[in-house]
Structure 1
């Protein structure tokens, strides 16, 4: 995701807060009436075959407060509904409009390649989690070998610290194997309705699968229906959560440092 240290140029009183990068041909038809950060007007800054969707901002950094995060998402949502786009992570601020133009020029080939790759697609999130309150207790009953080891260790009283550690390691190994098998089953099931997938690390002990799928916009309904069928095949006490459509964060990379862009621009003949 985009990361940048930013600064203001003395000659420019306002920076530019970045939301997204879009192809130049969509700019004239874009409706950008959703208010930007701090209520500023959202507008394009163009360079060559690209445009950045921005709004003016006076400060150099922005705290990730809920209202700002919500505004950022709302602008992205409006752009996503109208055009292919590369989403910019929250909080990226260029020191001037010139820095934005230099950014687009410096990375034009990369941005255009990424835009072509995600055009006509959206990101869908899919998580599978255990709804039982005690994950270890559930898996003890689900995995006979884990139950046997636990019962054996506690048969003669309280096990040693080392034995508890070994039990914990065995539990983690079994859980990871179950997660991998479940993820493989899901990936096989959604192969026909997803162009690409990214499997992310589960966020906690109860989460089994955490993945993002790049789905053609025309196949979103089919994706949801496919996931619903997959959910029906899972063991009891597992819940499937689908989110989206979202901008394709997991399928784009915009790692930008504005100082590097400025130095490159200043060194150009």
Structure 2
């Protein structure tokens, strides 16, 4: 049985792919190409606009090209505007449904824009060179070296505890050092054995350069960690607005 959205499209309505939501600012229109080179334009409802482009159906394949186009559009607008990013694959069956969503979710969207106003997301992943750190610890504390009669398993347990204590302390120093420049932090579980930190930081635009400089200073203190820095991005990790979309991802994330 066809869904309500599928029925709308079958009656001739042109589906709209949604990239992001922002405050209405005069008659501004983006000059960007979206999925399939369709022009990106705005759909306005009250004081909010959605960035959309026409699409043929309610599903968009998660190809690399489509994912990069979605990200490119959001990133381009982020340079001059505060945006609530919308999850990849969000399609609404008509322009009227876009307006309806902007009306229905107006309050949480405005709250999200208030949280993100003038801010961007910066990503940071930290990895540990465990062998190098273990050697450093043994140099600093020779008693950590394996004793002549000590079983290898017991030595490994002692070393693991020492590694855990040091990495926990160092990541705490990193968080404290970046903290004064951060408006919000979202940490996800580390991926793999080497990753120690998998974090997103909400930072004022004006503080991005200072954040990067502080990170470089903190990173220069030791060579046993590798840092992967990314951004600025729209604040994907700091908003969670439900759009009530039947097909595709429903969260603004």
The secondary structure found in structure 2 opposite 1:127 is strand
Instruction: Describe the superposition over 1:76-124 as per-residue Cα deviations: whole angstroms up to 9, x where unpaired.
Output: 0111112111001111111221221111111101100110111101111
Paired with 2:78 and 2:4, the residues of 1 have a C-alpha distance of 26
Query: Are 2:194 and 1:206 aligned?
Result: yes
Aligned pairs for 1:9-48 within 5 A: 9=8, 10-24=10-24, 26=25, 28-30=27-29, 32-48=30-46
Name the counterpart of 1:245: 232
Residue 224 of structure 1 and its aligned partner are, at CA, apart by: 0.6
**For the structure 1 residues 101 and 148, does the alpha-carbon distance in structure 2 shift closer, same or farther, using more than 3 Å as the test?**
farther
Cα RMSD (Å)? 2.9
Q: Contact conserved, 1:44 with 1:51, CA < 8 A, in 2?
A: yes
**For the structure 1 residues 238 and 97, does the alpha-carbon distance in structure 2 shift closer, same or farther, using more than 3 Å as the test?**
same
The secondary structure found in structure 2 opposite 1:115 is helix
Question: Where in structure 1 are there 5+ consecutive unaligned residues?
Answer: 261-269
Question: Where in structure 2 are there 5+ consecutive unaligned residues?
Answer: 248-253
Residue 36 of structure 1 and its aligned partner are, at CA, apart by: 0.3
Paired with 2:243 and 2:40, the residues of 1 have a C-alpha distance of 21
Name the counterpart of 1:183: 171
Paired with 1:99 and 1:35, the residues of 2 have a C-alpha distance of 22
**For the structure 1 residues 147 and 91, does the alpha-carbon distance in structure 2 shift closer, same or farther, using more than 3 Å as the test?**
farther
Query: Are 2:232 and 1:232 aligned?
Result: no
**For the structure 1 residues 141 and 109, does the alpha-carbon distance in structure 2 shift closer, same or farther, using more than 3 Å as the test?**
same
Name the counterpart of 2:109: 111
Residue 7 of structure 1 and its aligned partner are, at CA, apart by: 3.4
Residue 230 of structure 1 and its aligned partner are, at CA, apart by: 0.7
TM-score, with length taken from structure 2: 0.82
The secondary structure found in structure 2 opposite 1:73 is helix
Aligned length: 238
Paired with 1:146 and 1:205, the residues of 2 have a C-alpha distance of 22
Q: Contact conserved, 1:21 with 1:85, CA < 8 A, in 2?
A: yes
Paired with 2:17 and 2:165, the residues of 1 have a C-alpha distance of 44
**For the structure 1 residues 6 and 212, does the alpha-carbon distance in structure 2 shift closer, same or farther, using more than 3 Å as the test?**
farther
Moved more, 110-119 or 239-248: 239-248
Q: Contact conserved, 1:14 with 1:95, CA < 8 A, in 2?
A: yes
Alignment match of 1:254 (pick from 230, 241, 253): 241
Instruction: Describe the superposition over 1:56-77 as per-residue Cα deviations: whole angstroms up to 9, x where unpaired.
Output: 1112211221111111111101
Residue 46 of structure 1 and its aligned partner are, at CA, apart by: 1.4
Residue 184 of structure 1 and its aligned partner are, at CA, apart by: 2.0
The secondary structure found in structure 2 opposite 1:34 is coil
Residue 176 of structure 1 and its aligned partner are, at CA, apart by: 5.5
Paired with 2:68 and 2:80, the residues of 1 have a C-alpha distance of 19
Q: Contact conserved, 1:182 with 1:208, CA < 8 A, in 2?
A: no
TM-score, with length taken from structure 1: 0.78
The secondary structure found in structure 2 opposite 1:33 is coil
